[in-house]
Amino acid sequence: MNMRFASITLTAGLLCACSQVPVYERPQAPIGAEFESAAGLPDAVAPQWWRSFGSPQLDALIEQATASNFDLRAAVARIDQARASLRIGSADLLPNASASGSISSNRQEQNGRWDSGESDQASLSVGYELDLWGGNRAAREAALARLDASRWNRAAVVLVLQSDVATSYFQILALSEQLDIARQNLEAAQELLDLVQVRYDAGAATALELAQQKTTLLSIAATIPSLQQSLASARNAMKVLLGGEPGSELAAAPIAALTVPDPSPGVPSALLEQRPEIRIAEASLIAANADIGAARAALLPRVELSLSAGVSGALTGGSSQFVSLAGSLAQTLFNGGALRAQVQLSEAAQQELTASYLQTVLESVKEVEDSLVAQRTASDRAVILEQAAEQAREVYRLALIRFEAGSEDLLTLLDAQRTRLSAEDSLVQARYNRLLAAAQLFKAVGGGWAEAALDET
């Protein structure tokens, strides 16, 4: 019997090499060797990319969000689910064992006499399914790939969270500065209205000029509630990102005080390794590839071995022992084509995920290209608007001097005032867009992610 068992085990071991999983090859995406808009950029993106903006307050906010955000907690829970699924999928590769015991007592009447008897039995059973066609190993491979997908999903959530915190922070600074500019211009408009009122009382200004300045004052005042509402909404959005925590009080730092980094996208092929969305798509594709092997293996015969050993009568006297070794072979002959349909379903799912993977790669490359263009455009526009704002302030200063001297009419001064207000507001918006474009580019290239970034999960 020992020789037969050894022969069966050896034969099964040889057959276990017959995996039904197709050989996986990464699909070749139609991408170029480099980005079209990336000439002259530096080479590296640091994992803690947000530090390149030079804001300790932003650093603290991202650290707080990483510790408290609920979307991130949900992503970590999905990793735990995937790990549990992997353990479930791996269980079929190991033997299963069970133990049982029983004891009974009975009495029966025969010819007016009562006879009694007792019996007991204890047994241990071990069963093992020979993975002849690699179906169980394929299921484990699929579960392992889905675990990788869940880990990269966490990386994607972290990257989006970091980008959203940075964007909200920039928006809060920009709105705060726009609100300050509006208040300063309101104060200047009030001073000018007082001046016009004095001139009107002295007969040196007309009622029309007085009404025009009052209209300008009210127009500036009307922008303040809208800015206050937008600022409150931005602060509320930041609170959600921080997991409901208020976070540290945001200092009213000028947005121009932040450093504007110049991140590099690297090369398109690097996105395949560091962009979380692409890694998620590929992990899902690998899992689907393994699912094909599991579906194909289900079409083939199943062999199970079982070993049982036990003892009976140990407690009631007259004990005896027993041992049995059995093997079983099972093959589905007809089930309406369900198993073959499962193979077709798995193959179609793999084809779908292949197309999704290639689409994800192309969309990622496009996002990087768009971010590069947005970064350069925002940078050029900010430089021009800085000059325009400086000129607008000088025009207003000169117009005010000439108006006070009586050599310029109020209409010219009002026009200079509106131009200055618009130029200063546009400059703040341009600086915000420049920071936003840099943050979006960091996000588009994957934020400097690498395999080591996933070790903590």
Section 62-91 average pLDDT: 84
The confidence band for 115, taking pLDDT boundaries of 50, 70 and 90, is low
pLDDT at residue 198 tops 60: yes
User: Is 242 a domain residue?
Assistant: yes
- Within-domain flag for 229: yes
Query: What's residue 222's pLDDT?
Result: 93
Q: Exposed, middle or buried, 438 (CB in 10 Å: 0-12/13-18/19+)?
A: buried
The domain tally of the chain equals: 1
pLDDT level of residue 110 (50, 70, 90 thresholds): low
Backbone angles phi, psi at 99, to 5 degrees: -125, 150
When pLDDT is cut at 50, 70 and 90, the band that residue 249 belongs to is low
- Identify the top-confidence range among 9-23, 79-93, 175-189, 395-409: 175-189
What pLDDT, on the 0 to 100 scale, is given for residue 357?
A: 92
Confirm whether 292 is domain-assigned: yes
pLDDT digits (tens, 9 = 90+) for 364-388: 888 888 888 898 899 899 999 999 9
Over residues 260-288, the pLDDT tens digits come to 887 776 777 777 778 888 899 999 999 99
Question: What's the pLDDT at 315?
Answer: 63
Q: Does residue 3 carry a pLDDT above 60?
A: no
Per-residue pLDDT at 112: 63
Domain hosting residue 183, numbered range:
31-95+132-299+340-454
Percent of the residues in the chain that have a pLDDT greater than 90, as a whole number? 20
Percent of the chain with pLDDT over 70: 85
Pairing mode, strands 96-110 and 113-130? antiparallel
- 199 vs 436 pLDDT, higher one: 436
Is 304 domain-assigned? no
Q: What is the 3-state secondary structure (H, E, C) of 320-357?
A: EEEEEEEEEEECCCCCCCHHHHHHHHHHHHHHHHHHHH
> Would you say residue 436 has pLDDT above 80?
yes
Q: Is the residue at 309 inside a domain?
A: no
- Name the more confident of 116 and 260: 260
> Facing residues of 325 across strands?
307
What would the mean pLDDT of 245-258 be, rounded to a whole number? 70
| Dihedral pair phi/psi, residue 116, rounded to 5° | -125, 155
Model confidence at 5: pLDDT above 50: no
* Mean per-residue pLDDT over the chain, rounded: 82
Quick one: pLDDT band at residue 334, thresholds 50, 70, 90? confident
Average pLDDT over residues 336-348: 88
Q: Are 154 and 79 in contact (CB under 8 A)?
A: yes
Q: Is 376 within a domain?
A: yes
**CA torsion angle for 173, 179, 185, 186 (degrees, to 10)?**
-160
Q: Residue 316 has what pLDDT?
A: 64
Residue 395 lies in a domain: yes
Q: How many CB atoms lie within 10 A of CB 292?
A: 22
Domain holding 89: CATH number? 1.20.1600.10
104 is a domain residue: no
